[in-house]
Structure 1
Amino acid sequence: MRLRALLLALLAVPVLSACVDDRASWQIDGTREHTLTLVREQPVFWDKKVNLYLVVSRMPACTRRHSLGAATDKTRVTIYQVPSGAFIVQVGKRMYATESRTCEAWARLEEEPADGMGELRGAFRVRNGELAFVAEKPGAAGDEEE
C-alpha cells in the first residue's frame, strides 16, 4: 500500500511540474508599495495557453487584478507610461490602459492612442526559464549613432 502511494506521487510530479504559475513585478517608484505585477497561470499541463493577469497596486490605497486574456507562456507583455501617469499594457497585438491612482480604470484599446504609446518602461518576458520584468534602459529607444 505504501509503495503504491509512493509510485503515484512520483508519477504526479512530471504532470504537476508542467503547469505554469508564476509572477514578476515592476516596482514603479522603486518601492514594493507601488507595482505592476504580471501573473501567469496554466491550470492544466496539456493546454498550450496561459491565462495572464495584471495586478495594479499602490498600497495602502488600492490593489486590483485585471485579466489580459490567454496567451502563450512565451508572450511578451510590454509596459508604457503616458505623461498623465497612466499605463498602456501591450500583449501581442492587444493593448489595455490602466492607472494606479485608484487601480480601477481598465479599458481595452482598439488602436494606438492619438498622443502615442508614451514612454517605454520595459517588458515582462521569460529569461532563463523565469518570468522577469526587464526595464528599458534610459535613452535606448530610438538612439542611433551618427
Structure 2
Amino acid sequence: MRLRHLLLPLFALPLLTACVNDGATYEIDNTREHVLSLIREQPYFWDGKVNLFLVVSRMPSCMRRHSMGAFTEKTRVEVYQVPSGAFIIKAGKKMFATETQTCESFAKMDAEPPEGMGTLMGTFRVKKGVLVFVKEGDTDKSAGEE
C-alpha cells in the first residue's frame, strides 16, 4: 500500500512535462534595459492552448505585463516598429499596439494601420521545442523550426 503512494507521483511526471511555461526576449537597441518579452503559459497539459503575455520594459522607468489571450503552442508572434517608436505585435490574426515610454499603453487593433505596419524587427517562434526571438534578416531563421 505504501509503495503505491510513492509510485503514483512518478507516473504523473510525464503528464506535467507536457505543460508550456517559457519565454523569450527581444532586446530593443541591443540593451537588456529596453525589451519586449513574450511569455507562454499553459496551465493544464490537456489544454491545447497557451496564454500569451507581452512584458514591455524600459528600465528603470517602467515595466508592464499585458495579456494577449489564448493561442496555440506554436503561434508565431511578429514584432513591428513604427516610425513613432511604438510597436505593433501580430500574433496569428490578432494585432496589438504598445509602447515603451510609459509601458502602459496596450490596445487590440481591429485592422492594419493605413500607414502600414512599420518595420518588421523579428519574430518570436518555436525552434527545436524552445521559444526564441529571431531578428529579421538572420540567415538561419528557418533552420531548426518545428
Is TM-score (shorter-chain normalized) higher than 0.5? yes
Q: Which residue of 1 aligns with 2:90?
A: 90
CA RMSD of aligned residues (A): 1.2
Q: Which residue of 1 aligns with 2:104?
A: 104
Q: Which whole-Å CA distance do the structure 1 matches of 2:25 and 2:19 have between them?
A: 20
Q: Which whole-Å CA distance do the structure 2 matches of 1:137 and 1:18 have between them?
A: 32
Number of residue pairs matched by the alignment: 138
Distance apart, 1:2 and its partner CA: 5.5
Q: Which whole-Å CA distance do the structure 2 matches of 1:100 and 1:6 have between them?
A: 50
Q: Which whole-Å CA distance do the structure 1 matches of 2:27 and 2:8 have between them?
A: 42
In structure 2, runs of 5+ residues without a counterpart are 139-146
Q: Which residue of 2 aligns with 1:20?
A: 20
- Name the amino acid aligned to 1:94: K
1:105-144 to 2 correspondences below 5 Å: 105-137=105-137
**What TM-score, normalized by structure 1, do the two folds share?**
0.91
Residues 2 and 71 (structure 1 numbering): CA distance in 2 closer, same or farther, change over 3 Å?
Answer: same
Q: Deviations over 1:46-93 (max 9, x none)?
A: 000000000001111000011111000000000000011000000111
Q: Which whole-Å CA distance do the structure 2 matches of 1:110 and 1:58 have between them?
A: 27
In structure 1, runs of 5+ residues without a counterpart are 139-146
Counterpart secondary structure, 1:7: helix
Q: Which residue of 2 aligns with 1:142?
A: none
